């Protein structure tokens, strides 16, 4: 099968190559999915899981990409809950070969059915950003109606999902980002926007839940905005500064079938809009990932037409 592989940890996206790889075999509780569309997050080339297995053994050449939408073509021993021919989408294991390929072997529990009226390209854009926003707001942030939320990077892939899900849950949402992203953040539902290069973040006052995906100085200043009893949720590692009288949580997104179904249902009925920046083919993907143009939103690879 055709796949994009990486072998050199120091090379970044420049080291990605289109190659021929053996088709994966289904292990216990796996399914094989023929991939129609895949999602890629450039940061994953810096994650240890791209380079080693869970025992820290080298697993190169490895196939990056963790989001997928496609069709089940085979079931592993003991696999239940999904069937051959079913449309699915989901989030692949960080430590196994990923989704920039024509086929992937993946545990069935990491997938949910993809409704027939949702395009594969849309399906592949939802798992990481949708699940991260959902888990950060509701599982870790315990968001309640009427609370205030800072959605950093509100025009980006995760931030746009945070903004929409928080608004739907009855929160007051302050989006942040670059000056050029103001309009897009407001269109996703932010009620206010802070241009981090020109406005003063501290002017927003006390906040119940800060969703940090920037870290560094912005992360530290954000921690100080959390009001008593509030929460700082970070997806960019453990916060360097913790709220004085609140919680600080950092986490890595996990797949969850029920949450994937909640997310895709919202896309179907128009409550949630996905944020796709670019769509390329598998043949063109390496060039697309090495473009110097700023990608605004998810990078999707359409593997099959
Ligand atoms: N822990 C987890 O499970 C998890 C899950 C998903 C994502 N993440 C991480 O979360 C981060 C965001 O992911 P994403 O997919 O949403 O990325 P994205 O689509 O690039 O969105 C990030 C947004 O924030 C903006 N931004 C970043 N730094 C900024 C700054 N200093 N000032 C103003 N705006 C700034 C970006 O603008 P520019 O493009 O101009 O910088 C962009 O609009 C990544 O580091 C990713 O690895 C972690």
pLDDT of 205-256, one tens digit each?
A: 999 999 999 999 999 999 999 999 999 999 999 999 999 999 999 999 999 9
Strand, coil or helix: 120? helix
Judge contact between 87 and 45, C-beta under 8 A.
no
How far apart CA 247 and CA 243 sit, in angstroms, is: 6
Cβ–ligand 1 contact at 159 (below 6 Å): yes
What's the whole-number mean pLDDT along residues 103-121?
98
Centre of ligand 1 to C-alpha 305, Å, is 29
- pLDDT band at residue 128 using 50, 70 and 90 as cut-offs: very high
Q: Is the pLDDT of residue 42 over 90?
A: no
The closest-lying atom of ligand 1 relative to the alpha carbon of residue 160 is 16
- Yes or no: is domain 2-126+274-302 CATH 2.40.440.10? no
132: its two tokens: 């991260």
Alpha helices by DSSP H, the chain = 120-125, 127-134, 157-168, 182-187, 216-223, 257-268, 285-289
Cβ–ligand 1 contact at 253 (below 6 Å): yes
| Cα maximum dimension of the chain | 57
Centre of ligand 1 to C-alpha 166, Å, is 18
Cβ–ligand 1 contact at 293 (below 6 Å): no
Q: Is the pLDDT of residue 296 over 90?
A: no
CATH superfamily of 128-250: NAD(P)-binding Rossmann-like Domain (3.40.50.720)
Annotated domain spans of the chain? 2-126+274-302, 128-250
Ligand 1 pocket: which of 158, 186, 295, 299 to mutate (most atoms within 8 A of CB): 158
Judge contact between 83 and 59, C-beta under 8 A.
no
Ligand 1 pocket: which of 48, 133, 134, 153 to mutate (most atoms within 8 A of CB): 153
* Average pLDDT of every residue of the chain: 97
Centre of ligand 1 to C-alpha 210, Å, is 14
Centre of ligand 1 to C-alpha 152, Å, is 8
**Any residues with CB less than 8 A from the CB of 211 and at least 6 apart, and which?**
133, 136, 137, 141, 149, 150, 151, 152, 159, 162, 166, 233, 235
- Predicted pLDDT at 293: 79
Judge contact between 207 and 150, C-beta under 8 A.
yes
How far apart CA 93 and CA 98 sit, in angstroms, is: 8
Ligand 1 pocket: which of 45, 67, 156 to mutate (most atoms within 8 A of CB): 156
Ligand 1 pocket: which of 178, 190, 289 to mutate (most atoms within 8 A of CB): 178
Cβ–ligand 1 contact at 128 (below 6 Å): yes
Cβ–ligand 1 contact at 57 (below 6 Å): no
253: its two tokens: 């997104």
How far apart CA 32 and CA 127 sit, in angstroms, is: 18
102: its two tokens: 């024509």
CA angle 288, 4, 62 (to 5 degrees): 130
- Predicted pLDDT at 110: 98
């Amino acid at each position: 099968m055709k796949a994009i592989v990486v072998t050199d940890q120091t090379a970044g996206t420049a080291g990605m190559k289109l190659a021929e790889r053996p088709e994966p075999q289904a292990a216990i509780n796996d399914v094989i999915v023929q991939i129609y569309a895949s999602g890629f997050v450039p940061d994953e080339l810096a994650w240890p899981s791209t380079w080693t297995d869970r025992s820290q053994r080298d697993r190169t050449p490895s196939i990056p990409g963790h989001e997928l939408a496609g069709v089940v073509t085979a079931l592993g021993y003991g696999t239940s809950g999904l069937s051959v021919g079913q449309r699915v989408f989901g989030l692949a294991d960080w430590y196994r070969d990923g989704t920039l390929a024509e086929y992937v072997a993946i545990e069935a529990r990491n997938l949910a059915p993809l409704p027939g009226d949702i395009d594969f390209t849309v399906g592949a854009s939802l798992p990481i950003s949708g699940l991260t926003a959902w888990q950060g707001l509701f599982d870790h942030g315990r968001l309640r109606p009427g609370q205030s939320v800072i959605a950093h990077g509100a025009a980006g892939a995760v931030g746009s999902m945070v903004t929409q899900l928080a608004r739907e849950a009855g929160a007051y949402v302050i989006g942040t980002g670059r000056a050029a992203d103001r309009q897009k953040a407001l269109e996703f539902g932010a009620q206010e926007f802070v241009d981090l290069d020109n406005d003063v973040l501290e002017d927003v006052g006390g906040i119940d839940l800060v969703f940090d995906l920037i870290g560094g100085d912005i992360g530290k200043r954000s921690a100080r905005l959390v009001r008593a009893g509030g929460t700082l949720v970070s997806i960019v590692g453990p916060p360097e500064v913790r709220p004085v009288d609140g919680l600080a949580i950092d986490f890595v997104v996990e797949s969850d079938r029920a949450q994937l179904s909640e997310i895709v249902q919202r896309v179907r009925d128009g409550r949630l809009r996905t944020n796709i920046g670019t769509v390329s083919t598998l043949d063109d993907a390496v060039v697309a990932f090495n473009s110097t143009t700023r990608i605004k939103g998810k990078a999707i690879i359409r593997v099959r037409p």
